[in-house]
Structure 1
């Protein structure tokens, strides 16, 4: 039987031609990205009406595919890179990161161990040490100490902070099971004890904490935060005492450096003391705000991080590395490897067996992994630490300027200041005509309810306007509006557009000041 020919529709020369066209398309897109409505203006299910129900049997012309991309796909895109996008936390990008990603796609290795592509493993170890030093992380988190010796710690690239949270919790469980065995428990007793493990976070901890507990099959306790929306050592200690009295086994706690809702900072040092006393694995989620640690002036806000067991930052949020790239550092990787190592003959190679290199497949959930360190390598080299510091400081300054405009307007209050380029705000009760709405000023519950309703109506009017996109949330049951200024394309011009839309929407709901 004859072997079919390898008749690919796109050869190298065709790729060269089309690749240049795509680079032009991308460049043109970013040149005019602010001209798009930041939020996709389509209805649910729009695309199914435009595309066939089955894949084409025969090859289609490249020109037709690009035409459909422009006409059918692009209308359904929410433009995260627009300067008018202030929602959630940003998904940052830079052209140096794109170049690293393109080269990663060119190499297209599956780097589950050293021999798969030695540079893939070794560059990851090196650049995560670079980044850890740029953040001022304790030396115990680095793969290579200052004296040149190798330590048990190091960094690994995860796909997201959610993956990092799961991996850290798996390592924590492994350490606790080791502890129980060292105490003389039988394997049957250890198995029984594993069903009573408890992990902790606060009511402001990212949902990845609860999801991680769901994945590994343990209990997650959400501890009420204090008036500053922080997890405190005292609250954690009280909950641990309660759980121990009920026969449960505390084993993990997550402290947050910059919560999603308000960028609050938990009592990192206090939590560390409780974790050490109670033998809990201490994980710090610094997915967004941790990027600011490239600027030395923010490091004093992160005191206590040096006492953690694991530390996570997402450079793809606020450090010009495009998605997906989440950096996780651990002090002792042995628990990670013990929790996640599965060996087969087809994974064996002399380098891995020597113990001299890292097999990152044992540091993550998937087996396969892309050459993602190239993205960070290009960003760090082409911007330098000083360039990244300038970027962080610029976006924080934009948030501070927006905050000043809100205060000068007089109708809004700041719920969380622009420490990390995130401003959380709401309408002041004094700006709402309580008499017109029939609300007694002495009835605090009714006033809060009305202000939240008015605040939400302003927010919805802003979204319906279409010129900007930002997100809302609830803080202590009160509606708030969040505006984050960390995006690559956010500028004073786009922030002014946000201010204009906000004031126009407030005028319609509240009346002019």
Structure 2
């Protein structure tokens, strides 16, 4: 494909994406076909000769791929958490792919590293993170692929600290322990297992039944019990915006406990971190002055396509010491001078894409005010939906809704609520998901798509109330 062929094909692909976005509201949010439908529509052997036209490829996208997609950008997609993308983000990714640079070292593409460092400082300013996370001091930020990787990296750095560096040589030589709330993300357990602590290495801490947030007294009791048993408390993962209900753990109290015992404190704000671009929502980030590492996902609620997790540490030296491995073939004068950042030492993989480009495009296109408007719109739409729930005696709210997620249920048993969810999702107009709060089956409506409006939230409520008519007595 020469540049002229690429130009023609590229125009066709961009037109196809624009058409997809403009007609997205007309499609079912999720497919109804059985498993294997897409696979059966594809040839069983690869092509022998190439040369198929871009028109043929796009036709198969229309006929085979689109009917088998769950459309995460659909205005009626209210499931899980948002996975936003946007035009500027996509264009930044296109440039990144076109450049094809490898950003593992400063020397392998200086602009890739330096733009990322500045973008992370920009984000830190937008969220008003403590100065200790800025690259101008001892800390700094890096783009990981996801909050799961950020938690793993934080766990490895915490192990390095707790073992005084021994684990790099001896491996896990003691019973190191990690702590998080019962509503902590599953990636925390995965990180603990990958790091070699084993499933027994994680302590699930009880939450307050009213707020669903981690109980500091229960955390302290678990730490003291482990110390008495000769174990090594290593890392606490607090959450700002838990997956089930967007509960906010009390970071100031947790931070004081971690400081008292010398335990690494990581904050997972994967979803709700984006809310801190709005000054009125920064209450959720109180206590970050205690924190050793923090992350959030611009690819969830900040109009930046997957994958883009923003991860900061207060002391980059600890992170680098934990992860650095320097083979001879990567040695270079710039790295040995100590004057540059080599992000390969801040993550598990060696290679890295130029992810900062899409973030740069997004921040320049929307600006702080544009991003705040997007977040505020989601919060307002969630509040609108919650008001509908409160006004209907058949329904109840199951948790607070400080951001853009509403947890609610029929005043009925779990099976009835599960049936309500199934009925609504079968319409194809919306997609909701569920969780359990206090042991009860609860529906979740998560607002986040930039295309979602009051009309779509109101439609979701209408579908729910229609589906509930013969399930409960008004």
Aligned to 1:184: none
Aligned-pair CA distance for 1:488: 1.7
Q: Does 1:215 align with 2:194?
A: yes
The ranges of structure 1 where at least 4 consecutive aligned residues each deviate by more than 3 angstroms after the TM superposition are 190-195
Aligned to 1:468: 430
Aligned-pair CA distance for 1:428: 2.1
Q: Aligned partners of 1:299, 1:48: CA distance in 2, in Å?
A: 46
Aligned alpha-carbon RMSD (Å): 1.5
Q: Aligned partners of 1:277, 1:355: CA distance in 2, in Å?
A: 33
Aligned to 1:44: 35
Aligned to 1:174: 160
Q: Greater CA deviation, 336-345 or 254-263?
A: 336-345
Aligned to 1:35: 26
- 1:137 is aligned, of 129, 134, 153, to 129
Matches within 5 A, 1:105-254: 105-144=97-136, 151-178=137-164, 191=170, 194-218=173-197, 219-227=201-209, 228-254=211-237
Aligned to 1:481: 443
DSSP-derived class of the 2:471 partner: helix
Q: Greater CA deviation, 15-24 or 190-199?
A: 190-199
Aligned to 2:254: 271
DSSP-derived class of the 1:195 partner: coil
Aligned-pair CA distance for 1:396: 0.4
**Cα distance per residue 1:17-62 (max 9 Å; x no partner):** 1100111100011111111111122211112211122211111422
Q: Does 1:11 align with 2:12?
A: no
**Cα distance per residue 1:251-299 (max 9 Å; x no partner):** 1000000100000011111110110111110000001111000001111
Q: If you compute each CA radius of gyration, which structure gives the higher value, 1 or 2?
A: 1
Q: Does 1:77 align with 2:69?
A: yes
Q: Gapped runs of 5+ residues in structure 2?
A: none
Q: Check whether the contact 2:133–2:314 (CA below 8 A) recurs between aligned residues.
A: yes
Matches within 5 A, 1:404-443: 404-429=387-412
Q: Check whether the contact 1:193–1:249 (CA below 8 A) recurs between aligned residues.
A: no
Q: Aligned partners of 2:170, 2:208: CA distance in 1, in Å?
A: 36
**Cα distance per residue 1:406-438 (max 9 Å; x no partner):** 112221111123311100001125xxxxxxxxx
Aligned-pair CA distance for 1:217: 0.9
DSSP-derived class of the 2:45 partner: coil
Q: Aligned partners of 1:174, 1:495: CA distance in 2, in Å?
A: 47
Aligned to 1:281: 264
Q: Does 1:378 align with 2:361?
A: yes
**Cα distance per residue 1:486-512 (max 9 Å; x no partner):** 22211111112101110111113225x
TM-score (norm 1): 0.89
Q: Aligned partners of 1:40, 1:347: CA distance in 2, in Å?
A: 47
Aligned-pair CA distance for 1:305: 1.6
Aligned to 2:299: 316
Q: Check whether the contact 1:232–1:270 (CA below 8 A) recurs between aligned residues.
A: no
**Cα distance per residue 1:147-168 (max 9 Å; x no partner):** xxxx220000000000000000
Aligned-pair CA distance for 1:301: 2.4
Aligned to 1:362: 345
Q: Aligned partners of 2:398, 2:381: CA distance in 1, in Å?
A: 17
Aligned-pair CA distance for 1:11: 1.7
Q: Gapped runs of 5+ residues in structure 1?
A: 1-9, 145-150, 182-186, 430-450
DSSP-derived class of the 1:116 partner: coil
Q: Check whether the contact 1:310–1:330 (CA below 8 A) recurs between aligned residues.
A: yes
Aligned-pair CA distance for 1:194: 3.2
